[in-house]
A = this chain, B = another copy of it.
Amino acid sequence: MRILSSKQQIENYIETAKIRKWENEEEIEQKVRRIISDVKDKKDEALLYYTRMFDCKGICLNELRVVQEEIERAYFECEKEDGDFIDALNAAYKNIYEYHMRQKEESWFYIKNGSLLGQIIMPLEKVGIYVPGGKGAYPSTVLMNSIPAKVAGVEKIIMVTPPDKNKSISKYTLAAAKICGIDEIYKVGGAQAVAALAFGTQIIPKVDKIVGPGNIYVATAKKLLFGYVDIDSVAGPSEVMVIADESANPKYIAADLLSQAEHDPMARCILVTTSLQVAQEVSENVDKMLARFENSVAFEAIEKNGVIIVVDDLFEAAEIANIIAPEHLEICCNDAEKVLFKIRNAGAVFVGEYSPEPIGDYIAGPNHVLPTSGTASFFSPLGVYDFVKRMSLIKYSKEQFLTDAPHAINIAQKEGFLFHANSLKVRLEDV
């Protein structure tokens, strides 16, 4: 891995790393707009057309919906193949559920001069979850996206995922869906699946919000439909940053950097350390592990976006973290709390040698859907708060109205809204 240690090298790196390209994605947008329009107009017919074109030939309408029997069979096959897998999903479910229960908010009210004011929390009614498919299997995506919705009290969770060319969906994904109590599952992916959830078709219900990761077509469709439907944050290439002092274990750090690297050739793996020795040993360990695993995605990510920054002290390291705002931040230092308290911008922070990123990806409890590409300075992990909405409540008393209406009339008049003033005046006149 590249090791940067001079002030100039580090400054140059941070300058380029913090700039996010303003990408003009008009070409992809045009394609996606066309798919959205087609699905809006032709509904299921369009879904079938695009699913046949992109995913699998010859699929017919009644095969788009995954029937209960198919889910049960998948679960049974998983159990037969490896009972530990079902145990693992259940253990993860339990931890994730427990963590997210603490995010649950209650409605509140207060009374002031006889007036009642409040905030009512309501779960969303229907939510769509996009789970990538094709050759891959993503049971953890099902858990992380559906559990907060369940905890929020969402009535109906609809999952969409593209089938492989044999018209199937991974049994691992289906087993996770069964454990999470997903209400309906459809074999459809891409921009067409997002459009179907946003507008509804004959078989797929219209939802209030769409969450879950996907390729550039899925992300573009979500962005274009934002406002017609709510979406989770727009995901880009993800990153891990490790802050380490001389006490850190280079083998662990190398393994953690590579676990991020295998996601995507664009993934960024950054080590910031006060120890030149740790820097060198991490670099050696990365090379050794890369040679052993022969993973071309990880190799490319490390080559392109892997970097080790050697700094003078841990404050400088924390400062770099705050500028980069990494999705995942590991702190492997003797005095980890001192660093932690300087961190403002990160999606999730992992402290100590038994908290590698994958423990958070799969089982610890906090959500693994985290703000990527530097958006941790303003976005949050996916949570129960993403699956509720709030309504304000105002029940004014006559007494409070008499005090406040004249003020409101004054401001309304300054803004030139005479009918607003009138609505208050007609009541004052009657008193």
**A interface residues with partner B (beta carbon < 8 Å):** 20, 22, 24, 26, 33, 36-37, 40, 82, 84-85, 87-89, 91-92, 95, 98-99, 102-103, 108, 110, 112, 115-117, 119-120, 122, 124-125, 136-140, 172, 199, 208-209, 223, 226-230, 233-234, 236, 251-252, 255-256, 258-259, 261-263, 289, 293, 295, 298, 336, 340, 343-367, 370-371, 375-381, 383, 385, 388-398, 400-401, 404-408, 410-412, 414-424, 426-427
Contacts and interface: CB of A to CB of B under 8 A. Distances in A.
A271 to B, nearest CB: 14
Nearest to A410: B88
A407 B87 contact: yes
A25 to B, nearest CB: 10
B36 A377 contact: no
A136 to B, nearest CB: 7
Contacts of A295: 418-419
A388 to B, nearest CB: 8
Contacts of A24: 33, 37
29 contacts: A24-B33, A87-B407, A91-B404, A95-B404, A102-B119, A116-B351, A119-B383, A120-B349, A139-B411, A208-B378, A255-B419, A258-B419, A259-B420, A262-B417, A262-B420, A298-B419, A336-B395, A351-B395, A354-B397, A354-B398, A355-B396, A359-B394, A360-B392, A360-B394, A361-B408, A366-B394, A376-B389, A376-B391, A378-B389
Contacts of A422: 255, 258-259, 289, 293
B255 A85 contact: no
Contacts of A419: 255, 258-259, 261-262, 289, 293, 295, 298
Which 7 pairs across A and B sit closest by C-beta, in order of nearness?
A366-B392, A88-B407, A227-B234, A362-B408, A351-B395, A348-B392, A208-B378
Nearest to A198: B22
A364 B396 contact: yes
Contacts of A416: 136-137
